[in-house]
Amino acid sequence: EVQLLESGGGLVQPGGSLRLSCAASGFTFKNFAMSWVRQSPGKGLEWVSSIGGSGHIRHLPESVKGRFSVSRDNTKDTLYLELNSLRAEDTALYYCAKSNSPLFGSFDHWGQGTLVTVSS
Partner 1 sequence: SYVLTQPPSVSVAPGQTANISCAGDKLSTKGVHWYQQKPGQAPMLVVYDDWDRPSGIYERFSGSTSVNTATLTITRVDAGDEADYFCEVWDGGSARVFGGGTKLAVL
Query: Which residues lie near partner 1 (CB under 8 A)?
Result: 35, 37, 44-47, 50, 59, 61-62, 95, 100, 104-113
CB-wise, 63 or 85, nearer to partner 1? 63
CA quadruple 78, 57, 43, 117: dihedral sign: positive
Least distance from C-beta 9 to partner 1, angstroms? Answer: 14
CB-wise, 17 or 106, nearer to partner 1? 106
- 57-85 exposure pattern, b = at least 16 Cβ within 10 A, e = fewer: eeebeeebeeebbbebeeeebbbbbebee
Q: How many residues does the chain have?
A: 120
Least distance from C-beta 75 to partner 1, angstroms? Answer: 26
CB-wise, 16 or 91, nearer to partner 1? 91
